[in-house]
Structure 1
Amino acid sequence: MNKLLITLFICYSSYAQANTFSQFFNAFETLSANFAQQTISESSALLNHSSGYLLFKRPQQFIWQIEKPNQQTLLLNNKQLWLVDTELEQASRKDVSTIKNTPLYWLINRPSHLKNLPTYSHTENGIDWYPSHQANKLNFGFVDKKLRAITLINPLNQTIVVQFNAVVLNADIAENAFKLNLPKDFDIIQ
């Protein structure tokens, strides 16, 4: 009897862990969070540290706002993707297809519409890790079924670590939050 209970508990735990990714990404229409991002070299040296916030609204509205050290914005408003650098006073329009190998791809698309979903691999330091099957080694980290971290390898073989806090699912986000408002003196690159 005890062996049966232990087996059932292990099966349930594995099932719950396996479904955390899908449950989380299917659970919201909007999301807001603060983040801290680090870029780490192959030799484990800290190359860059930034912080800011993100806003997301389905189906395809997203802001990744870096506040420190320099203001930069990645803005997706339906089919338009913009990278805005306040210090350089420029905005670049990007092809939306460039997001396929980024965490943004997983936000925009519901797990039920995707193939090869990240699956639970292990728990480390209290974080349940779900690696994707992409070349950039994109991993999603969950604590108590809430997204807490993302890691990936960039084209320079550097590790990007993003840690989230103050995550709010189904947050009230103003309609105009995703509107691109640029000063007239900004250079536009398309």
Structure 2
Amino acid sequence: MMRSIVRALFFVVLACGPMLAWGATAQEQLKAFVATVQSATGSFSQVTTSPQGGKAAPAQQGAFAFQRPGKFRWEVQKPYAQLIVADGKQVYQYDPDLAQVTVRDVGKAIGASPAAILFGSGDLEQAFNVTALPDKDGLQWLRAKPHSTADAGFAQVDIGMRDNLPVRILLLDAFGQTTRVDLSGLQANASVPVSQFQFTAPKGTDVVRM
């Protein structure tokens, strides 16, 4: 379960630059973000709820960083440690408690997820059906549905923008669960050390290559 959510959530590593798009739609803001922001750092919190509205997993907090194309770091710090690192070629998903790391090719791991757009330079409409949603909670919203849900691993993703910043992501998975991710402290075009996108398995770690 954790792997499917993490795979689908690669795309949430977001930030947005100082763009003058006052009054722009969420889709226009997102396109501008992809075109202008090459790297970013920030913090996140996320919680997953069941179709009935109850918590399906403990709430999580952590930090992220990314650098185009295809490099990112998604680090869960609370309530337990989890780490995902992509170096541009491979994605490492490390679970310290299990002493295990799963290694996948970046293209296969990201596939048709929004990460292919947000960490690359492609066009959103190539992999998704994108529609505008009504404003809600002071945010401008868009919904992206992958052309092939089998490859993406999720049914749809809603992205809420405000002042050219992605603020909230709502991910609906194939099990009817919704994962809400709130982003904060976004630093666009930040200088990120190369070491943030490198991973070496600790001694004694079980390495599983997919």
State the TM-score bracket (shorter-chain normalisation).
0.7 to 0.9
Aligned twin of 2:115: 104
Aligned twin of 1:121: 133
1:80 and 1:62 map into 2 onto residues whose CA distance is 11
Aligned twin of 2:53: 44
- 2:100 counterpart of 1:90: yes
The residue type paired with residue 157 of structure 2 is L
- 2:34 counterpart of 1:19: no
Q: 1:121: how far off?
A: 2.1
1:124 and 1:26 map into 2 onto residues whose CA distance is 25
1:69 and 1:180 map into 2 onto residues whose CA distance is 22
Q: 1:106: how far off?
A: 2.8
What RMSD in Å do the two structures reach over aligned CA positions? Answer: 1.9
Q: 1:51: how far off?
A: 0.9
2:179 and 2:113 map into 1 onto residues whose CA distance is 11
Q: 1:87: how far off?
A: 1.1
**Which of the residues 86, 89, 94 maps onto 1:79?**
89
Q: 1:40 touches 1:159 (CA, 8 Å); kept in 2? A: yes
Gaps of 5+ in 2: 1-21, 150-154
Aligned length: 177
Aligned twin of 2:175: 156
Q: TM-score, normalised by structure 1?
A: 0.85
Change (3 A) 1:26 1:118: farther
Deviation string 1:103-139 (CA, Å, 9 cap, x unpaired) is 4223222254752574432210101111113242111
Query: What SS does the corresponding residue of 2:135 show, helix, strand or coil?
Result: strand
Aligned twin of 2:208: 189
Out of 122-131 and 135-144, give the one that drifted further.
135-144
Out of 66-75 and 131-140, give the one that drifted further.
131-140
Q: 1:21 touches 1:119 (CA, 8 Å); kept in 2? A: no
Q: Which has the higher contact order (CA 8 A, sep 6+)?
A: 2
The residue type paired with residue 49 of structure 2 is I
Deviation string 1:126-167 (CA, Å, 9 cap, x unpaired) is 011111132421111111110111111123220011110001
Report which of the two structures shows the higher radius of gyration computed on alpha carbons. 1
2:194 and 2:168 map into 1 onto residues whose CA distance is 27
Change (3 A) 1:100 1:140: farther
Q: 1:40: how far off?
A: 0.6
1:160 and 1:102 map into 2 onto residues whose CA distance is 15
Query: What SS does the corresponding residue of 2:182 show, helix, strand or coil?
Result: strand
Change (3 A) 1:102 1:90: same
Q: 2:117 touches 2:124 (CA, 8 Å); kept in 1? A: no
Gaps of 5+ in 1: 1-11
